Amino acid sequence: MRVLFLPWSQPTHYMPMVPLAWALRAAGHDVRVAAQEHTAEAVRRSGLTVRTIGAGYDYLEGFQRLHEEALRHQREHPGRAKTLDQRGDMPPEQRRKLMEARSAPFVKTAEAMAPELVALVEGWRPDLVVANPFAMVAPVAAAVAGAPLISHLTGPAFERRMGLFPMSGAAPEVWPADLRRLYDDYGVEPVAQLAARVVDPCPESLQFPGIPGRLPIRFVPYNGPGSAPAWIDDSVKTRRVCVTWGTTTTGLAGAEGFLVPRILTALEAIDDLEIVVAVTAADRELLPELPARVRVVEGLPLHLLLPSCSLVIHQGGSGTALTAAASGVPQLMVAGMPDQVVTANMVVKAGAGICLEPAAADVDAIAAGARSLLEDAVLRTGAQELRAEIDSRPTPAAVAAELELLAFAGSIR
């Protein structure tokens, strides 16, 4: 069986797909990934085969404008991200206009990728297409191949609750005109539910209900390759705290939203801590001079670090949140961007963490939150229960076998 993976053009959206891709590869199937250059290197580093396509458009500038608008809206309307499901009641024309504006980078990316992707599909003929919900070109690949389309989520289905993305249940009448034309050109059937199944690595405690065709899969943390330093397995006599800010947040939200220095100041008030700051090379330049008990690491995969930690403090990214959940680590989140607020609120609801809004996250509030998570037995138990829930879900190998049955049940080659 031949399986084509189509991630969105950010490495962090590709990484949750890697365990399933490798499960299919280990089962003897031919797996390829088609991606823009932003993600291609992450694919190579994961050991899988990539075809780089869509070089004619760089989504980043438009995507950054969307994030800036979302941050401005969040500042002007605090708490609005908690009620995104209310947007489902928008009149169709209003929703269509909103989608036209907010999905422009995604549609333009799809248009740029389509010609090379279609050539790949016509020559290689995949039996399954597995795609991130933001990869709007995926229905084109599935239609041309005559193959089932599988959606692969990255975390809480924020995009489905927005009701703005065709890969996430948006009705055809609100699809952007340019996207409808692209789909018409390649014979994509205009239906709201384009995916035959939705592979979901998010446990029920962190996920919205009502996802059609949902296939639960165990979240197996993968944050890229790396070396495990000797100190990571040392017997930690003090409590180890990880502070991280993701890999893309500063680039999208700006350096003024990089709150790690404030977090480190807050942690100075707590004795008996070993602090590990996991950052990108670019974010490291924003750090102040640090005391001896703070260790800074670049490029260290969180799935290696977090099992040794008593607490993680982060920005609410779904990859970090799920990696922490799979490690049974309580989480203190200072979440600003709408998708991060949604993820953080889900962790809080599951009883495994605390969320602070950036405007309220002063040094005292951060220190108080960290103390609670280090000392509160209920919150620590909640984190362990979340880990147990993740461990109970079907393995990537089991889901790979189910997808194989789906492909062949449809008389696919």
CATH number at residue 117: 3.40.50.2000
Residue 98 lies in a domain: yes
Range of the structural domain that residue 63 is part of: 2-219+393-409
User: How confident is residue 85, by pLDDT bands cut at 50, 70 and 90?
Assistant: very low
Asked if the model's pLDDT at residue 84 lies above 50, the reply is no
Residue 17 lies in a domain: yes
Which is more confidently placed, 315 or 85? Answer: 315
User: How confident is residue 81, by pLDDT bands cut at 50, 70 and 90?
Assistant: very low
> Are residue 387 and residue 330 in the same domain, yes or no?
yes
> Are residue 294 and residue 312 in the same domain, yes or no?
yes
Q: What is the pTM of this model?
A: 0.91
Average of per-residue pLDDT across 221-247: 88
> Are residue 170 and residue 44 in the same domain, yes or no?
yes
> Are residue 129 and residue 205 in the same domain, yes or no?
yes
> Are residue 398 and residue 373 in the same domain, yes or no?
no
Residue 34 lies in a domain: yes
> Are residue 268 and residue 336 in the same domain, yes or no?
yes
Neighbours of 159 (CB within 10 A): 22
pLDDT for 144: 97
The closest of 299, 289, 348, 294 to 324, measured between CA atoms, is 348
How far apart CA 276 and CA 293 sit, in angstroms, is 9
pLDDT digits (tens, 9 = 90+) for 93-151: 766 676 677 788 999 999 999 999 999 999 999 999 999 999 999 999 999 999 999 99
Residue 224 lies in a domain: no
> Are residue 270 and residue 380 in the same domain, yes or no?
yes
How far apart CA 157 and CA 168 sit, in angstroms, is 8
How many domains are contained in the chain?
Answer: 2
> Are residue 167 and residue 298 in the same domain, yes or no?
no
Q: Cα torsion for 76, 77, 78, 81, to the nearest 10°?
A: -130
**Average pLDDT of the chain, as a whole number:** 90
Which residues in 56-74 are b (16+ Cβ under 10 Å) and which e? ebbbbebbbebbeebbeeb
pLDDT for 222: 96
